[in-house]
Amino acid sequence: MNKEQTRFNFDSNPIFETIDYEVAARSFIPGYESIFNMALALLSFSVSEQSHLLIVAAGGGMELTTFGKAQPHWQMTGVDPSAKMLAITQEKVAIHGLKNRVKLHQGLTHELPLTPLYDAATCILAMHFLPDDGAKLSLLQSISQRLKIGAKFILVDICEEKSSESFNDFLLAYKYHARHLGLSPEIVEEAATNVVHINCISEERTIELLQEANFSKVTRFFTALWFRGWIATKNT
C-alpha cells in the first residue's frame, strides 16, 4: 500500500467548520501571500510560457489562481485528497476564468498517470501532515516520477525539531500572530494543538528526503517562523 496519506482530515476538522480556510491560513502563516508570489517569480523564469505544472495539495486554490492570473498560457493539474478543499478551489478557478487551463483530481499524487511528464511542480504547506515513516519520501518520489529531467520543484513546509527550544518559541509567536490578526482564542488553541501533533522534521532531514527522491540543487528561498520553502531540481 502506498504510504502517501495524511492523518489530518480537512473535511472533518472542526476549525474549518467555524472559519474560512484562507482566513485561517493568512492569520496563522506569516507572509502567506508572499510564499505564492515568490514561487511564481522563481518558476516564471524557469519554465516556458506553454508549460504544464503539477500542483500538489491544490486545495484552497492559491497556487492555481496566483499562477493562472499571472501566466495566461500555463496549464495546471491540481491534486488534493480533500473534497472540501477542492470545492473551494473549483469555485476560485471558475471565478478567475481558469477552467479551461486547470484540471483537478481528488485523490493522491501517486494515483496520477506517469505520463505526460510535468514541467514543474509545487507542494506547499502539506508534507508536514505526513509521518516520516516512508510517507514523506513516498510523496516526494511520486512527484519526482512525474517531472521532466531538470524540472523545478517548490516545497514549502513546517520545518523544526519539536524537541528544540525554538519550536516552543515559534509556537508562542504562531499563536500571538493569529490572535493579533483577530482569531478567537478557541480557534488559536485548537490550531496550536494540531501543530503539536503534526509530523514536522528538521531542514537537514527535509533536504535528505529531497535528495533521496532524486532532487538536487536544493535552495531555501523562504523563512517565516518554522515555515520554510525550498526550490529544487529534478535529476537525470
| Residue 18: predicted pLDDT | 43
Cβ 4 vs Cβ 107: under 8 Å: no
For residue range 145-164, list pLDDT tens digits in order. Answer: 999 999 999 999 999 888 88
| Residue 4: predicted pLDDT | 52
| Residue 1: predicted pLDDT | 36
Provide the mean pLDDT of the chain: 91
Instruction: Map out the domains of the chain as residue ranges.
Output: 15-234
| Residue 135: predicted pLDDT | 96
- Specify the CATH architecture of the domain 15-234: 3-Layer(aba) Sandwich (3.40)
Taking CA 229 as the corner, what is the angle to CA 51 and CA 50, rounded to the nearest 5 degrees? Answer: 5
Do strands 147-158 and 227-234 pair parallel, antiparallel, or not at all (unpaired)? antiparallel
Residue ranges of the chain with per-residue pLDDT less than 70? 1-19
Please state, for a pLDDT cut of 70, what percent of the chain lies above it: 92
| Residue 12: predicted pLDDT | 57
Cα distance between residue 222 and residue 30, in whole Å: 11
Residue 96: Cβ within 10 Å count: 15
